Structure 1
Amino acid sequence: MMPIRSTIAALATVLALGAAPAVQAQSVQEFVKAFSGQWYVFDPAYASAKDPCAISLEDTGEGEPVRYKAASSNCVTPVSGLKKWYIDEGMLHLLDASDSVIIRLGGNQSRITGEIEGTQRAVIVERAAGSQETAALAEAIRKHRCIYVGFTSDCAKKEDLAEPAMTEDGGVYASVGIVARMNVRSQPRSDATVIGVLNEGICLKVNFCTTASDGIWCRARFGEDAGWVRKTALRQSEWPVMTFANSCSDAAGG
């Protein structure tokens, strides 16, 4: 099988820019400074133009309680209405002009994740430079010119790396097949809590997928909990691997 000739566009951008350094914040104002600046949503579903949805969080604020200035560009509704933000109990709250919450986000200074308020639409918000892990994945793909199917020597085709197609037969979901042992995380980021492990050969129903700088993440239900699986990962810090295929039968979860 021929190696793939192209990679995820966002990964190439991350590789060119490098990873942003972490910031150790202590006070509320230090947290504000640490999380202020330019952020991006790489999922094209949130973009109103060819360029990614961009979010700008300023560290100047006014009022009581303090609300800091914010803006967005190339974003669809409701993110296009972003005007203000603040931090409370470790969460970033993005607000519209009437102070209504658009998104609540948690995470680190490279990636914050959450859901559009009042929906189950997840959103991944990132720095342009991504994380060191994202940059490492991009470098590995460039080096090997291949994303391997599980722990095999076969290279995934371009269509294998696309989002799984959702069906509405008895609910919105897609059945995917796990091709490499992988962690299930509470949020679509690598520092989120591991809530379980999936072994190769398991069929899984996912009910939402979104694109980040390190590829596609999909959400599934595990009893009362929602968990996230990542489609591309690094094996032994060297080999870029596709962790699940876009088809399967007798899927569990949902």
Structure 2
Amino acid sequence: MIRPTAVFASALLWLSCLSQAPALAQTPSAVAKAFAGRWITYDRNFSDQKSCIFAFSSELKDDIFPIAKTGCTGALAAIVGWRIQNNQLVFVAEDKSAIALVGGNQERMSGSILQSKLPIIFERLEVAEKIEQARKSIECSYVGYSQTCASPQDFTPPPATIGSPSPIQILVNLNARAEPRNSASVKGVLKPNACVSAEVCTVASDGLWCKVKTENGNAWVKKQTVRQQRWPIITFKNGCV
């Protein structure tokens, strides 16, 4: 019998080993074929249900690759397709104006809505569902380095919004990454008990990610991870002592 903890650890380790290459330095046709299929975001800022799902077409139409949508609201509801610009995907509206800019690989992309600056994470649907299922099967995630299992309250996002940051206290040695992706470069390591400002947060299949201010500029930290490839842990708590 496979333990839930092992399933979650395997899923996260697999995700962290995905190619870091953006897979965008190709012809538009090759990129379209590589990225074709269903993508999901769990951020409730962009969905009237549990999630917003995009279906990428690989067939060029009117100079863009069309996108069909399910359950999407807000800025994402206006997106009709994408094009390539400077090695990134640009999501566009009916009039071809840019709505969002994302980068990443064929399993996970991240970026922001250009007007509101809200972050956005899109994941390959089939991959995301497996990771989400494994994460939710965990019976106990420890609070930092302690032997205390986290309560539902420990998973609550900090009340951080654009223009209104919220303090969080780091509980472990925590990688701060350039983007909310396990494959993104590490900009620094935050130490236990450090107090930093969360600028904004978003949700992915592997849980909550928050953009924080560090000595090396803004970076992203993940709320839930696996310590020593074995123990699921909570990496920070809301508020500082």
Tell me if both proteins adopt one fold, taking TM over 0.5 as the criterion: yes
Question: Which residue of 2 is the match for residue 97 of structure 1?
Answer: 94
Looking at structure 2, the residues matched to 235 and 104 of structure 1 have their Cα atoms a distance apart, in angstroms, of 32
CA distance, structure 2, for counterparts of residue 54 and residue 217 of structure 1 = 19
Say if 2:40 is the partner of 1:40.
yes
Aligned partner of residue 45 in structure 1, secondary structure: helix
CA gap of 1:85–1:193, structure 2 versus 1, over 3 A, is same
**What is the aligned-residue identity percentage?**
29
**SS of 1:241 mapped into structure 2:** strand
1:200 corresponding residue in structure 2: 192
Which SS does the other structure have where 1:177 is aligned?
Answer: strand
Q: What pairs up with 1:97-246 in 2 under 5 angstroms?
A: 97-130=94-127, 135=131, 139=134, 142=137, 145-166=139-160, 172-222=164-214, 225-246=217-238
| SS state at 1:153 partner | coil
Q: Give me the whole-angstrom Cα distance separating, in 2, the residues matched to 1:119 and 1:79.
A: 12
Aligned residues: 228
Contact 1:61 1:69 (8 Å CA) reproduced: yes
Give the Cα separation in 1 of the matches to 2:197 and 2:27.
42
Task: Describe the shift of the 1:31–1:131 C-alpha distance in structure 2 as closer, same or farther (beyond 3 A).
Answer: same
Distance in 2 (alpha carbons) for counterparts of 1:112 and 1:140:
20
Deviation (angstroms), 1:57: 1.2
Give the superposition deviation at 1:76: 1.2
> What is the rounded CA distance, in whole Å, between the counterparts of 1:36 and 1:88 in structure 2?
17
Output the amino acid matched with 1:206.
A
- Counterpart residue identity of residue 129, structure 1: E
Q: In structure 1, what residue type is equivalent to 2:56?
A: L
Aligned partners of 2:229 and 2:134: how far apart in 1? 11
CA distance in 2, matches of 1:167, 1:95: 25
Q: Normalising by structure 2, what TM-score?
A: 0.84
State how 1:18-37 maps to structure 2 within 5 Å. 26-37=26-37
Instruction: Report if aligned partners of 2:175, 2:186 keep a CA contact under 8 Å in 1.
Output: yes
SS at match of 2:39: strand
Q: Does the aligned pair in 2 maintain the 1:58–1:68 contact within 8 Å?
A: yes
Q: Specify the code of the residue in structure 2 equivalent to 1:151.
A: Y
Distance 1:126 1:201 in 2: 32
* SS of corresponding position for 2:32: helix
- Separation in 2 of the partners of 1:167 and 1:68? 32
Decide whether the 8 Å contact of 2:225 with 2:234 is kept in 1: yes
Rounded to whole Å, the distance in 1 between the matches of 2:135 and 2:53 is 27
What's the offset of the Cα at 1:85? 0.9
Question: Structure 1 residue 52: deviation in Å?
Answer: 0.8
Per the alignment, do residues 32 and 227 of structure 1 end up closer, same or farther by CA in structure 2, a change over 3 Å counting? same
Kept in 2: contact 1:140–1:239 (CA 8 A): no
Whether the 8 Å CA contact 1:68–1:85 is kept in 2: the answer is yes
**Deviation of the 1:138 alpha carbon:** 5.6
RMSD: 3.0
Aligned to 2:56: 57
Maintained 8 Å contact 2:212/2:219: yes
Is the 1:141–1:240 Cα contact (8 Å) retained in structure 2? no
Per-residue CA deviation, residues 135-176 of structure 1 (Å, 9 max, x unaligned), is: 3x864763x5101111211111001111012389xx501111
